[in-house]
Every structure is written in C-alpha cells, then in structure tokens.
C-alpha cells in the first residue's frame, strides 16, 4: 500500500493531468461528475461592478447585470474534462421541478474558497425559479442544456 507521501505525489500528478485545481485535490475534493441531474448548492452572487461577486467575469472579462439569467460554476465544473463551459447554457432545476436556462459567465474559484459543488447565480435565476434570494443557499440540480 502506498504511503502518504506517495499518495500526495500521485494526487498532484492527477490534478495536473486532468487540469483540476491542485488545492482541490489536496483537500480530497473535486466537483462531482456532470449528469442530467447534477446535485449542487445554488448561492446568490452579484455580477455587477462593486458587488460581492468580485471582478469581471472569467469567461468574457465583463461585468453583468443581475437581471440576466447567469451563473458561475465551481472550478471543476467550468473546466471538467478539459471542456470550458464559458458562454454555454445550463439548466438549473429547483426543488419542486421548476427549471430555468442560464448562461455560464464566470468561475466560482475552488482554489479561493468556493466549494466544489456551487452554482453561483444571479438574482434573475432565483426569481425565475420562484425562490427568495434572502434564503442565500438552496439545493438544486443542474445539467448542460
């Protein structure tokens, strides 16, 4: 059986080979595989300049209106299998089955504290799903559209 140093080295190699964040691998976490009903935690994010979302979006270098149906995905999901989901549509489904299409415009950076299972979304996504943004976090599923 491999010792802890060998396992750490293997983890680093696998992280580099699969283009996943080394920090996520070192923590023993990675974004779950994407399926037709990928479980996630949806959070509220501000995509406009000066809001809690940070800087310009990772996908296009622009700020976006919170009135747009847009999301940021955890690092692993944004680049899963070497495929970037930037500017692609995803379907987010809330408890009860209501769903909405949203455009991926940003990354929720897992190397900077974002969990590996986050769909960080605009207020417009929450509104389309009939959810109250004051809740802050809700379990959802999502899939490529």
What confidence tens digit (pLDDT) does each residue in 11-38 have?
A: 443 333 333 333 333 344 477 788 889 9
Q: Quick one: pLDDT at residue 33? A: 84
CA angle 9, 13, 17 (to 5 degrees): 170
Domains of the chain by range and CATH? Answer: 38-144 (2.40.40.10)
Asked if 123 contacts 64 with a C-beta cutoff of 8 angstroms, the reply is no
pTM for this prediction = 0.76
What percentage of the chain has pLDDT greater than the value 70?
76
Low-confidence stretches of the chain (pLDDT < 70) are 1-29, 53, 80-83
Residue 76 sits at φ, ψ, to 5 deg, of -60, -40
**Using an 8 Å Cβ cutoff, are 75 and 24 in contact?**
yes
H helical segments located in the chain:
4-17, 22-27, 75-78, 123-128
What pLDDT sits at residue 131? 97
């Amino acid at each position: 059986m491999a010792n802890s140093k060998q396992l750490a080295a293997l983890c680093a190699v696998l992280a580099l080979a699969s283009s996943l964040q080394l920090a996520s691998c070192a923590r023993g976490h990675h974004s779950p595989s994407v399926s037709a009903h990928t479980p996630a935690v949806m959070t509220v994010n501000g995509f406009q300049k000066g809001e809690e979302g940070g800087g310009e979006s990772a996908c296009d270098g622009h700020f976006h209106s919170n009135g747009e149906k847009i999301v940021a995905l955890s690092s692993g999901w944004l680049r899963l299998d070497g495929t970037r989901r930037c500017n692609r549509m995803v379907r987010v489904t809330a408890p009860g089955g209501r769903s909405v299409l949203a455009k991926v415009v940003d990354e929720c950076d897992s190397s900077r504290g974002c969990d590996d299972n986050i769909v960080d979304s605009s207020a417009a996504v929450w509104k389309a799903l009939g959810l109250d943004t004051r809740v802050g976090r809700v379990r959802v599923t999502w899939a490529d559209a």
